[in-house]
C-alpha cells in the first residue's frame, strides 16, 4: 500500500535512530518517501578503470584497482592524518584521510585488493587522493548500475560517515525494501502519448542508472510528473475560482473614462496599452471576478492603464484602491494620477503611515460614505479600520513585495462578492516562472515603450576608466542633465556598506565641487528622504548619491545618467530596475556599470547581459538560468503542495509547457477529475497539501 513509503526513515535497515535524526535535521529526510525523492545531483561512470601510471592531478573522479602496501599515522595528535600507500602493476599513489581515521585504520588491511574511487591531486610531486571511497574487491558489491550517483550532503553528515557513498548504500537498502510497493501515479492517457517510463522504473534508474539513455528517460518522467501535478493544482484552483466567485459586472464605459480619454490623456496610448485595456475591459464585463497580472517594463505606462481601468470602476458606481509597497512609490502614484485627473472631479486620497490622524478620520468617513472614489496608499490600506462603501477594483503595484496574507486582507474588505484584482509588476517574470507562480492568473504584457523613449545606452567600466566616467558626468550635467550614483547596501545594518555610501558622498563632493548633491539611504526618516528626493526632482541638486532605495519610486525625466558602483554586487533584476530610473525623458540616457577587475564569471555574464540588451524579459530569462529559481516564491504560500525535487524552471521550460497543456486538457474535459479514467489523478490530487484559504483568488 502507498502508505508504506510514509514510514519513519529510522526503520530503514542501515539507518537507525541516530542516523535518522541527522538525516532529518540536515537534509529534511523524514520518511522512506523523502529518501526516495532525494535525487542525485550528478553521476560518474564507474565502468572504467585507470592505471596509476595514467592518473593526472587535473582529472575528474577516477577509479583504480590495486593493493594497500602500507598504512601510516602521521602528524601531531590534533593534526593527524592517515596515509596509505596504494599500488598496482604500473605505479604507486597515496590515499589520505584527515577524518574517520580510527575506523579506516581498523578496516584497511595491507596486501588486500581494493577498488579506490576519488579525485586525484598532487602533493610533493606525488599523486594522491584525499578521502577516497575504498571498496573491498572481494566483498559483495552493491549493484549501483553503470553510473555512480552522487548526493548532496553536509559537513556534519560527512563527519558522521554519511557521505555520498553512505547515502548510495542507504538508497540501495531502500530499493530492496520497496520492491512491489511503488504504484503508478499517472494514467495511461498521460504516459502513453509521451512514452513515459513507468514510475517504479524511473525511480530505480534515477538512483541506479543502467545506461545514459535510461537515466535520460527516468529524468524526463520524473520532471514531467513534478511539473504536471503543480500545473494540475494551479489550473484546478483557477477552474474552481471561476465556478465559485461571481464578479461585479462593469458594463458601462461612461463619462469619466471618455472625458479622460478625450481631454486628459497625457500622450497617445501605445498599441500594447490599448491591447491590455481591451483584455481588462473584457474581464470586467464577464460577470466573473478578474484576476489579472499586468507585466510591463519600467516606464512602459502601467500606471496610466491602472488609472483608466479605475475610471471604468467609477463609471459603474464602484470605488477602487491602489496599493504600493513603499511610501515614496505611493506618493508618486498619487501625484501622477491626481495631475492626470485635473478637471474631472474624481475624488482621490492618499493613505500612508505618515498620514495625520485628522486626515485619516476624514478619509475613513469619505470611504464609508462612498464620496471617495480612489484610495492610493501603502500597507495602511489593509488596516482593519479602513472600510469601503463599495470596493470594486483592487490594484496592487509591485505585488511580489506584499505577502499573500496582506493581499488577502485587502481582498476581504468587500463582504460577499470579491473585487476585481489587477496586480502589476515592473519586474519581468520569465515565462516558466509566470506559468508556475501566476499560473492561475490571466497575464497581460505591455511590451512597448511610449513614443519618443530612446533605449538606454549601457556601458561597463573598470576602475582604470573612472576619470573618463567623471568627465562624462560633468559634460551631461553641464548640458542641463542630472545623475544618480548608486552604492550597494546589502543590509541596512552593515556598517561597512553604510560607510561605503558616506565615503562615496564625500568623494562626489570633492570630485564635483561645483554641483549640489543629495544623499538618500534607508536609515533616513521618511520626511528627510522625501525632502532630499524633492530637491533632486525639482533640479535644485544635480547629483543623487543613494542606495537601492531609489530602485522604485523616483521619476525624474531630466536624470540621464545612472552610475552603479560595485555593479558586480547586484543581481540582474536589481540592475535592470535601477537602470529604469533613467531614460524617462526624451533625451538619450546612460547607465554606467562600475566594477573591480576581479569579478566572478557569473558577475561578468550579468554585466555583459546588461550592456547587450534593454529587454527586461530577456534579462529575466538570463537571471533565472544564472541563479536558478531557488526557493520559488509562492509554493508554500499558494499551497501548491509540491516542491521541486528534480525539475529546474530555468532549464525545463519545454517540459513545463507540455505538462501544463496536458493538465489543461484533462481539466477542460473533467474539471473535478470525476471520470473513472482520472481516478488515479484524483487520488494523487487529494494527497497534495491544501491551504485553509484559496490564495488563488487574490493572486
Same domain for 391 and 498, yes or no, is no
- pLDDT tens digits, one per residue of 597-637: 888 888 999 999 999 998 887 888 788 777 765 433 433 33
Last residue of a domain, one of 413, 446, 479: 446
> Taking a C-beta distance cutoff of 8 angstroms, is the pair 559, 581 a contact?
yes
Same domain, yes or no: 329 and 442: yes
444 closest CA partner among 577, 582, 292: 292
Answer whether 567's CB lies under 8 Å from 593's CB.
yes
For residue 164, the model assigns a pLDDT of: 84
Question: Is 245 a domain residue?
Answer: no
Q: 374 with 345: CB under 8 angstroms?
A: no
The pLDDT value given to residue 629: 58
Domain membership of residue 433 (yes or no) is: yes
Cell for 525? 526618516
Q: Please give the model's pTM, rounded to 2 decimal places.
A: 0.69
CATH code for position 138: 2.40.50.140
Torsion, Cα of 435, 441, 442, 443 (10° steps): -60
pLDDT for the residue 643: 58
Q: Residue 302: give its domain's CATH number.
A: 3.40.50.300
Identify the pLDDT of residue 373.
94
pLDDT tens-place string over residues 330-357:
888 998 899 999 989 899 999 988 889 8
| Helix extents (H) in 479-591 | 495-511, 526-537, 572-579
Joined together, the cell numbers standing for residue 88 give 598496482
What 3-state DSSP class applies to 296?
strand
* End position of a domain, from candidates 446, 472, 492: 446
Same domain, 278 and 355: yes
| DSSP H or E run through 69 | strand 62-74
* Residue 298 structural domain: 255-446
Is residue 183 in some structural domain?
A: no
* Alpha-carbon dihedral angle through residues 389, 408, 236, 687, given to the nearest 10 degrees: -140
- Residue 22: how many CA atoms within 13 Å on its side-chain side? 16
Are 418 and 462 within one domain?
no
Whether 184 is in a domain gets the answer no
Each residue of 474-524: pLDDT tens digit?
999 999 999 999 998 644 445 444 457 788 888 999 999 999 999 988 778
Q: Measured between alpha carbons, how far apart are the two ends of the chain, in Å?
A: 37
pLDDT score, position 136:
78
For residues 385 and 463, membership in a common domain is answered with no
Q: Is the dihedral of CA 355, 358, 361, 365 positive or negative?
A: negative
Beta bridge partners of 653: none
pLDDT at 509: 92
268, 382: one domain? yes
What is the phi/psi pair of residue 695, to 5°? -60, -25
User: Is the same domain home to 432 and 515?
Assistant: no
558: left (phi over 0), alpha (psi -120 to 50) or beta: alpha
189: CB partners within 8 A, 6+ apart: 666, 677
Number of domains forming the structure of the chain = 3
User: Is the C-alpha dihedral spanning 188, 189, 195, 198 positive or negative?
Assistant: negative
The chain-wide mean pLDDT, for the chain, equals: 84
Are residues 564 and 422 both part of a single domain?
no
468 & 413 share domain = no
Q: Is there a domain that residue 117 lies in?
A: yes
Q: Which residues of the chain have pLDDT under 70?
A: 1-2, 137-145, 399-415, 431-432, 437-438, 440, 489-499, 551-554, 628-643, 689-699
Burial (0-12, 13-18, 19+ Cβ within 10 Å), 71: middle
Distance CA 563, CA 513 (A): 18
311, 415: one domain: yes
* Assigned domain for 646 exists: no
Cα 41-46-52 angle, rounded to 5 deg? 120
Domain boundary among 143, 171, 188: 143
The per-residue pLDDT for 697 is 45
% of the chain beyond a pLDDT of 70: 88
Phi and psi for 527 in degrees, rounded to 5? -65, -40
Q: Is the distance from CB of 476 to CB of 560 less than 8 angstroms?
A: yes
Residue 81 forms part of a structural domain: yes
Say yes or no: 384 and 497 in one domain.
Answer: no
The tally of CA atoms less than 13 A away on the side-chain side of residue 233 is 28
* Cross-sheet strand order for the sheet of 543-546: 457-462, 590-595, 559-564, 482-486, 543-546, 517-520
439 and 327 assigned to the same domain: yes
Tell me the residue length of the chain: 699
Q: Is 177 among the domain residues?
A: no
Amino acid at each position: 500500500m502507498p502508505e508504506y513509503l510514509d514510514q519513519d526513515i529510522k526503520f530503514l535497515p542501515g539507518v537507525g535512530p541516530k542516523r535518522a535524526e541527522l538525516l532529518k535535521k540536515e537534509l529534511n529526510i523524514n520518511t522512506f518517501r523523502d529518501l526516495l525523492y532525494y535525487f542525485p545531483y550528478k553521476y560518474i561512470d564507474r565502468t572504467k578503470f585507470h592505471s596509476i601510471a595514467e592518473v593526472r592531478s587535473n582529472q575528474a573522479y577516477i577509479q583504480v584497482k590495486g593493493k594497500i602496501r602500507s598504512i601510516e599515522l602521521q602528524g601531531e595528535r590534533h593534526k593527524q592524518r592517515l596515509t596509505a600507500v596504494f599500488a598496482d602493476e604500473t605505479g604507486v599513489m597515496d590515499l589520505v584521510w584527515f577524518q574517520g581515521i580510527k575506523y579506516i585504520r581498523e578496516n584497511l588491511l595491507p596486501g588486500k585488493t581494493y577498488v579506490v574511487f576519488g579525485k586525484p591531486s598532487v602533493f610533493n610531486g606525488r599523486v594522491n587522493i584525499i578521502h577516497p571511497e575504498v571498496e573491498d574487491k572481494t566483498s559483495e558489491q552493491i549493484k549501483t548500475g553503470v553510473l555512480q550517483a552522487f548526493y548532496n550532503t553536509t559537513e556534519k553528515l560527512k563527519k558522521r560517515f554519511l557521505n555520498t557513498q553512505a547515502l548510495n548504500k542507504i538508497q540501495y537498502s531502500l530499493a530492496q525494501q520497496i520492491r512491489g510497493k511503488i504504484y503508478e501515479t499517472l494514467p495511461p492517457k498521460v504516459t502513453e502519448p509521451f512514452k513515459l517510463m513507468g514510475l517504479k522504473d524511473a525511480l530505480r534508474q534515477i538512483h541506479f542508472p543502467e545506461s545514459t539513455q535510461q537515466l535520460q528517460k527516468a529524468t524526463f518522467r520524473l520532471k514531467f510528473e513534478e511539473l504536471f501535478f503543480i500545473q494540475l493544482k494551479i489550473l484546478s484552483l483557477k477552474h474552481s475560482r471561476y465556478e465559485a466567485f461571481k464578479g461585479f459586472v462593469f458594463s458601462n464605459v461612461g463619462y469619466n473614462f471618455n472625458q479622460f480619454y478625450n481631454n486628459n490623456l497625457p500622450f497617445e496610448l501605445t498599441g500594447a496599452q490599448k491591447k491590455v485595456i481591451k483584455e481588462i475591459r473584457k474581464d470586467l464585463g464577464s460577470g466573473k471576478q478578474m484576476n489579472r497580472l499586468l507585466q510591463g517594463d519600467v516606464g512602459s505606462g502601467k500606471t496610466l492603464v491602472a488609472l483608466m481601468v479605475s475610471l471604468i470602476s467609477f463609471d459603474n458606481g464602484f470605488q477602487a484602491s491602489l496599493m504600493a509597497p513603499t511610501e515614496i512609490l505611493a506618493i508618486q502614484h498619487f501625484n501622477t494620477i491626481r495631475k492626470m485627473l485635473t478637471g474631472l472631479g474624481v475624488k482621490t486620497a492618499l493613505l500612508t503611515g505618515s498620514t495625520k490622524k485628522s486626515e485619516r478620520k476624514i478619509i475613513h468617513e469619505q470611504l464609508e460614505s462612498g464620496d471617495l472614489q480612489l484610495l492610493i496608499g501603502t500597507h495602511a490600506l489593509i488596516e482593519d479600520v479602513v472600510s469601503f462603501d463599495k470596493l470594486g477594483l483592487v490594484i496592487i503595484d509591485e505585488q511580489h513585495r506584499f505577502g499573500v496574507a496582506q493581499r488577502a486582507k485587502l481582498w476581504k474588505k468587500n463582504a460577499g462578492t470579491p473585487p476585481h484584482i489587477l496586480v502589476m509588476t515592473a519586474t519581468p517574470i520569465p515565462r516558466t516562472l509566470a506559468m508556475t507562480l501566476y499560473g492561475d492568473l490571466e497575464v497581460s504584457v505591455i511590451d512597448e515603450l511610449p513614443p519618443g523613449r530612446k533605449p538606454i545606452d549601457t556601458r561597463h567600466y573598470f576602475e582604470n576608466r573612472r576619470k573618463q566616467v567623471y568627465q562624462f558626468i560633468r559634460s551631461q550635467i553641464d548640458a542641463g542633465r542630472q545623475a544618480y550614483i548608486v552604492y550597494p547596501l546589502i543590509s541596512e545594518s552593515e556598517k561597512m556598506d553604510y560607510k561605503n555610501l558616506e565615503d562615496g558622498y564625500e568623494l562626489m563632493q570633492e570630485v564635483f565641487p561645483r554641483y549640489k548633491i543629495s544623499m538618500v539611504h534607508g536609515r533616513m526618516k521618511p520626511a528627510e528622504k522625501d525632502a532630499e528626493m524633492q530637491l533632486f526632482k525639482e533640479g535644485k541638486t544635480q547629483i543623487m548619491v543613494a542606495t537601492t532605495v531609489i530602485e522604485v519610486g523616483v521619476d525624474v525625466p531630466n536624470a540621464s545618467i545612472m552610475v552603479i558602483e560595485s555593479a558586480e554586487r547586484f543581481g540582474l533584476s536589481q540592475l535592470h530596475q535601477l537602470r529604469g530610473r533613467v531614460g524617462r525623458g526624451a533625451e538619450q540616457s546612460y547607465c554606467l556599470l562600475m566594477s573591480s577587475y576581479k569579478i566572478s564569471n557569473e558577475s561578468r555574464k550579468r554585466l555583459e547581459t546588461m550592456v547587450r540588451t534593454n529587454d527586461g524579459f530577456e534579462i529575466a530569462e538570463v537571471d533565472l538560468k544564472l541563479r536558478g529559481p531557488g526557493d520559488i516564491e509562492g509554493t508554500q504560500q499558494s499551497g501548491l503542495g509540491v516542491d521541486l525535487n528534480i525539475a529546474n524552471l530555468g532549464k525545463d521550460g519545454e517540459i513545463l509547457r507540455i505538462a501544463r497543456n496536458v493538465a489543461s486538457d484533462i481539466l477542460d474535459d473533467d474539471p473535478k477529475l470525476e471520470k473513472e479514467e482520472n481516478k488515479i489523478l484524483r487520488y494523487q490530487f487529494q494527497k497534495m497539501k491544501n491551504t485553509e484559504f484559496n490564495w488563488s483568488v487574490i493572486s
